[in-house]
A = this chain, B = another copy of it.
């Protein structure tokens, strides 16, 4: 059981997210999680992506796992809940759950493993103590 807090962001489905199967294109779920993390970095952790970029740092995806349960369709709003499951020396693992906001049913779940990198060279960086502190809520 994770000791870290869960946060929730609403991401409305856009028509350009819909594919030939008339539901949200599978790779867009990764973009919904990304949108939720950006929102939560700023709104919930108080350390927006810009704060990292200003320090010459950026986050990149090292690995991800996505499980699709029910398709989201046009008109749906994705409720994206994320929660840090592990803070490592150079990275953070984040579990997510995407629900259809109208009825709370699970659309997708999985995790993203992010690495902190130097924005210019892309080399992994040790997560600074103040960032660890901010993420340890």
A18, B38: Cα distance in complex, Å: 13
Asked whether, in the complex, the Cβ of B15 is within 8 Å of the Cβ of A34, the reply is yes
- Contact residues in B for A66 (Cβ distance below 8 Å): 61, 63-64
A97, B62: Cα distance in complex, Å: 15
Asked whether, in the complex, the Cβ of B20 is within 8 Å of the Cβ of A74, the reply is yes
A116 to chain B, nearest CB (A): 13
Binding site for B on A (CB under 8 A): 11-12, 14-16, 18-23, 25-28, 30-31, 34-35, 38, 42, 48-50, 58, 60-68, 71, 74-75, 110, 119, 122
Asked whether, in the complex, the Cβ of B34 is within 8 Å of the Cβ of A122, the reply is no
A35, B25: Cα distance in complex, Å: 13
